[in-house]
Structure 1
Amino acid sequence: MPHTVVIADDVTGANDIGIMYTKAGHSSVVYSLDQLDERAEFEEDVSIIDTNSRFLSDRDAFRRVCQAVMLFPKNQVRQFFNKQCSVFRGNIGAEFDAMLDALEEEFAIIILGFPDNGRTTIHGIHYVHGKKLEDSQFKDDPVHPMKQSDLLEILKSQTGRKAAAIHYEYLDQGVEILKQRIGELKEEVNYVIIDVRNNEDLSVIAEAVRDEKVICGSSAIGYYLGLLHKSNAKQEGTEALKRAGTSILCIAGSLTPQTKSQIAYIKNRNYPVITLDTTQLFTGEAYRNEKRRILKEYAKARVHSPMVLIHSMNQEEEVLRTKHLAAAAGIDNTAVSEMVSAALSDLAKVIADHYKIRKFVICGGDTSASFCNKMSIKGMKVIKEIESGLPTCRSITKPYYELVLKSGSFGSEEFIEKAKDILLCRNLHFRHDE
């Protein structure tokens, strides 16, 4: 039985928090709620359930979180963690409330800061790389545009439970003062959001909340909580990544500036890059023709390169044209995003089956979720961190896939190439344990 259970609203976030515990010395496995094997025994230190609920209605998200929590006996798990987007996109209130209701608890700590990826909270105001959330790239998110920066106000708009904030001045007074303040607020409210300026703050917070039953927020605090607890599971060392072939397929459906920059870098490095024309997704014949075109281009490109990247149109005018065509067909932005992810995943499945591809880099949370579903990936063991919050993983059932699932807004410009090198074992050595 795991000592920590994490319920995550998307698969890239699930991997993100998995690597936090893994690098602190704990074994972590991510499971898909939709494809969970009833015989799963959950023998790892940290079991992470991906509910894929970020884009569902709040009612459906609530139901799925309850379903996931109820898989585990409350009294045999030390801590439950509700992992959400590091900028509060999604069904925040519904999912936090669901965890408390399912556990019959009435209090949770919320830590959203992730300093290594530019997310900080100061006096309750959330910042992304120094900009207020409402002024960041997420203000124009196509599904969850973030128009506020005050985390308390965002949370209060989504829950009927009471919430309060603890500002960094309490952290500066040390662990005991912070614990005392948490204890005081526990008598008055259900949720407490704590400031995070840097990793030192996370270390202090972890010490203060290590015995709390319910933690909510982003992944960074997981590393510091992991450092405070001993692993229960057998440690197997780093997994081998060598046996799955020498070809990598990268697919990218994210429209974030970070992913656009990563695609441009790959183009500049002269890797083959193929663009999916998203204006061709709205009739069966047009998509079939587009699919044939891409598969033909892929067949030629793979001969000359260990990695081929296929991405959806991402220039502003191309995206607008796609949205206009969708609107004319009565399709909203969320459905368009799902169609793009499904098309990319369909291509990945055809290519994987035909060419026996077993190594993948997937860019974007929606695309990663669609890919895992299409490939029938029931779960993944989290293995090795490439960059902050971005690990390699291996599927837990055959055929074993070696995966890097990247949140759209994470990663350096050269990240995809780094991931390729690691999957091909060109700059890291992995021990073969099987």
Structure 2
Amino acid sequence: MILGCIADDFTGATDLANTLTRRGMHTVQTIGIPKGEAPQADAIVVALKSRTIPAADAVAQSLAACRWLKANGAKQIFFKYCSTFDSTDEGNIGPVADALLDELKSDFTIACPAFPETGRTIYLGHLFVGGDLLSDSSMRNHPLTPMKDANLVRVLGKQTPHKTGLVPYRTVKQGAPAIAEAYTALRAQGIRHAIVDAVEDKDLDNIGAASSALPLITGGSGIAIGLPANYRVARLIPKREGAAALSAVGGPGVVLSGSCSAATLGQVERFAAKHPARAIDPAELAEDPARTVASLLEWAKPQLASGPVLIYASAPPDKVALVQAKFGREKAGEMIEHAIAELARGLAQSRVKRFVIAGGETSGAVVSALHVQALEIGPQIAPGVPATLSYGGTRYALALKSGNFGGPDFFTQALDALS
């Protein structure tokens, strides 16, 4: 292993594994920290479910993953979080990054969630989603991590007691040597975390080159674009093509959606117009979870003989707010995740092996319910989302989609890709 990665959610881990695989690194995604030997790979991405848990728990899990990765040979550590910097004033990005720096005995790292291919760019420290500031995007209404400030220097500064600085675009566009010099200057000022501007993919290549000597890199999956070239220059990996096609599992396909992002809501509407679909009723679920899940399974199973089905908890912000007000934010989220996990388990017992999952928390619940321990990374379905195939035991074909990723017809495209 060369690169050891710690991802704070399951779809983010898959997104990162996809980026590394497309650029020639043999990459394996594990679900949590493996208990046995490390898989044979250039890069291992440990998928945690730590984005919205208490900061102390996120730190403990991330440190455990870091120690396992280092013990198994990782030469560089990558802490991956969402390209929309999903977090709160309490964390978890700042506390985890600080703990990892201490563990690695380092005093400086970068924070760069930019991913221009998916519309995430950073200019003067401000994160844009498409043409909108993060604070003007749909992320401002996120039910768990509402992002109401686009200034990442300010956002990260609230999460860490250490100094946070900026490598501005005027420096980034000058290339890797200028970026590396900026790192040195910031370190001399006692700055521990540097937001790095990026508006084009070539910026990510240059940032990656400038960061080759950093023990820790933090960011979205986009920043990983520039890392494989470093390892090829160092003759640690050979030149390779992208991902090979995955083995087919066959059988019916199911879409399970818990994401409430604007992109997912459009995908749900488009898919439901052509295929059987059923929404999860929060009130019914709260009153009798077992009966609600059983009813949905009873509806879905006969439908599968004719084609794929969709079961979703996705809803617009106003409806989500009402559910959270009635049941509490944490309870509402846990209730939905548990229900979708039980649905996945019941569908798998009916020999469903192809699953498209929308939402990071939802994806984590489903792969845990299916006892998936690791994923083989296949060809990209959409930017940030590859086809994957589970290792060992029953093999499931899975597409794990972060809420905001994919076009309107993503669900159909994903099912077609999961053969």
Q: Give TM-score, length-normalised by structure 1.
A: 0.90
Structure 2 letter corresponding to 1:319 = V
> Match for residue 221 of structure 1?
223
Judged with a 3 Å threshold, the aligned counterparts in structure 2 of structure 1 residues 367 and 8 are, in CA distance, closer, same or farther, namely same
> Match for residue 411 of structure 1?
406
1:272 counterpart = 2:276 = yes
> Match for residue 340 of structure 2?
344
Distance 1:98 1:384 in 2: 34
Partner SS for 2:231 = coil
Percent sequence identity over matched residues?
27
Distance 1:17 1:401 in 2: 20
Partner SS for 1:19 = helix
The aligned runs of 1:30-429 (5 Å cut-off) are 30-33=29-32, 36-73=33-70, 76-90=73-87, 91-188=92-189, 189-230=191-232, 232=237, 238-242=244-248, 244-268=249-273, 270-283=274-287, 286-305=288-307, 307-312=308-313, 314-315=315-316, 318-326=319-327, 332-353=328-349, 355-424=350-419
> Match for residue 428 of structure 1?
none
Structure 1 letter corresponding to 2:255 = C
Distance 2:102 2:338 in 1: 34
Distance 1:148 1:219 in 2: 21
Distance 1:130 1:416 in 2: 25
Distance 2:293 2:176 in 1: 57
> What is the number of residues matched between the two proteins?
410
Aligned Cα root-mean-square deviation (Å):
2.0
**By how many angstroms is 1:232 displaced?**
4.1
Verify the 8 A CA contact 1:378 1:396 in the aligned structure 2: yes
Verify the 8 A CA contact 2:4 2:78 in the aligned structure 1: yes
**By how many angstroms is 1:8 displaced?**
0.6
Structure 2 letter corresponding to 1:272 = P
**By how many angstroms is 1:341 displaced?**
1.4
Partner SS for 1:73 = helix
Structure 2 letter corresponding to 1:120 = T
Structure 1 letter corresponding to 2:407 = S
Unaligned runs of 5+ in 2: none
Distance 1:76 1:356 in 2: 38
Partner SS for 2:399 = strand
Verify the 8 A CA contact 1:17 1:222 in the aligned structure 2: yes
**By how many angstroms is 1:350 displaced?**
0.7
Distance 1:313 1:54 in 2: 19
Structure 1 letter corresponding to 2:5 = V
Partner SS for 2:68 = coil
Judged with a 3 Å threshold, the aligned counterparts in structure 2 of structure 1 residues 237 and 325 are, in CA distance, closer, same or farther, namely closer
Distance 1:61 1:292 in 2: 34
Partner SS for 2:17 = helix
Distance 2:243 2:119 in 1: 30
Residues 70-94 of structure 1, C-alpha deviation per residue, up to 9 Å, x if partnerless? Answer: 1133794331111011122131111
Distance 2:319 2:151 in 1: 33
**By how many angstroms is 1:219 displaced?**
0.5
Verify the 8 A CA contact 2:104 2:215 in the aligned structure 1: no
**By how many angstroms is 1:318 displaced?**
4.4
Q: Give TM-score, length-normalised by structure 2.
A: 0.93
**By how many angstroms is 1:240 displaced?**
2.9
Distance 1:299 1:40 in 2: 38
Verify the 8 A CA contact 2:265 2:314 in the aligned structure 1: no
User: Quick check: 38-47 or 249-258, which moved more?
Assistant: 38-47
Verify the 8 A CA contact 2:379 2:387 in the aligned structure 1: yes
Partner SS for 2:407 = coil
